[in-house]
Amino acid sequence: MSAAQENTQPHIRSFVRGTTGVIELDRPKALNSLDLEMLRGIDDALDKWEHDNAVQQIVITSSKDRAFCAGGDVRWVREEDARGNYAAGDDFFEEEYRLNLRLGKFHKPLVALLEGVVMGGGFGISAHGSHRIVTPRTLGAMPEMAIGFVPDVGMSYTLTHLDVSPVMGLFIGLTGWRLSPADMLYTGLGTHAVEDIHAFLDDLCAVDSPSEDALHAALSKHALSDEDFAKLVDNPQSELQTHREFIEQTFASGSWVDIQNRLADATAAAQKESPSEEDAPDDPQNFRVFLDKVNDAIAVANPESLVAAVELFRRSTKTDLETALDNERAVGNQLRRQENFLEGVRAVLIDKDRNASFDPSDARDVDVEKWRQLLS
């Protein structure tokens, strides 16, 4: 690789190896949280390679295995919002969403190597591409409810158009569910699994002839069968798959308050039942364990975000990616101008006490019609 082939910017490198354009995120102390320079660096690389016939596919990866990308730089957005400079955050999300849409329309294969943590904006630069490669160490989530925001970066569209179930996507968005590698593959958020992301990338980049299908060859060599993948992870069975019937019954219809009532009824019923001898208290397939996780996630969520997100997701089932991004922008801009966003980011990302004080504290006191009108 010659120096002319590489472009290094703050927190991002882009270079060509063989027939592969590689975008490497390099902001490890912030788990590759995306700032404006990184968004623009990705966009610049796409500009260079989109019409370059020598570049057959594009890979987005991380310089460190701990995290692919933990999201957008919402700490910075919060700082600007707290100063009353809402325009800075508006511009940040405008650029981020424009990139998300571009990735969704990109005509070349886009391969995201999802080693480690992938959250929020990390899905925005991966989920709209053609290939999403997970490993036994992948951990995904859309954790926006706890920071007083909503799932964005086009994920209200992607999650409501999962082949497995649009209701499953709503559940993932509302609960910030920690997606295991098995969950990622079950839902389709992951398209393939490999054991060694570096060996996969090396073989992908070893092909230097555009006439050869480097991506197909690398996947044929490294992609794991379900049986082989199950041997490498602690929990080869997706909890989402195990509890799909409950998720469908509880989250399929109505407003957030309707869902909340069904969840409360299910919790009360479970508490009345005597646990069977087969129920191990630390078994993730145990329904009680699963229900506790769901309730714990909801307990730290902003009620206003939950109400708004349900309306956003219901609308996104009937839209395309571009419209979903527009709707996310409208909802997000409203939420960012509330104290709940400042408080949520403080509790999760700054003080990390996860003890946010949201107002209102009860979803029944949130005006759902306000959000329906905004999205109409």
Spell out the domain ranges in the chain. 7-375
Instruction: Pick the catalytic residue from 73, 81, 96, 144.
Output: 144
Instruction: Pick the catalytic residue from 41, 71, 121, 190.
Output: 121
Neighbours of 117 (CB within 10 A): 20
Q: What angle do CA 159, 160, 163 make, to 5 degrees?
A: 85
Please give the pLDDT value at position 212. 86
Q: How far apart are CA 164 and CA 162, in angstroms?
A: 5
Q: How far apart are CA 34 and CA 31, in angstroms?
A: 9
User: pTM score, two decimals?
Assistant: 0.94
Please give the pLDDT value at position 235. 87
Please give the pLDDT value at position 9. 80
122 is catalytic: no
Distances (CA, A) of 113 to 117, 137, 293: 11, 11, 28
Please give the pLDDT value at position 272. 84
Residues in contact with 154: Cβ distance below 8 Å, sequence separation at least 6, in sequence order? 97, 100, 101, 104, 124, 127, 128, 321, 324, 325, 328
Please give the pLDDT value at position 275. 62
Give me the torsion for CA of 223, 157, 177, 237, rounded to 10°: -40
Instruction: Pick the catalytic residue from 24, 73, 152, 239.
Output: 152
| CATH architecture for segment(s) 7-375 | Alpha-Beta Complex (3.90)
Instruction: Pick the catalytic residue from 18, 41, 72, 190.
Output: 72
152 is catalytic: yes
Q: Which residues, given as ranges, of the chain have pLDDT below 70?
A: 1-5, 274-285
Please give the pLDDT value at position 118. 99
Cis omega (within 30 of 0) for bond into 360: yes
Please give the pLDDT value at position 10. 84
144 is catalytic: yes
Please give the pLDDT value at position 7. 77
Please give the pLDDT value at position 285. 62
Please give the pLDDT value at position 361. 98
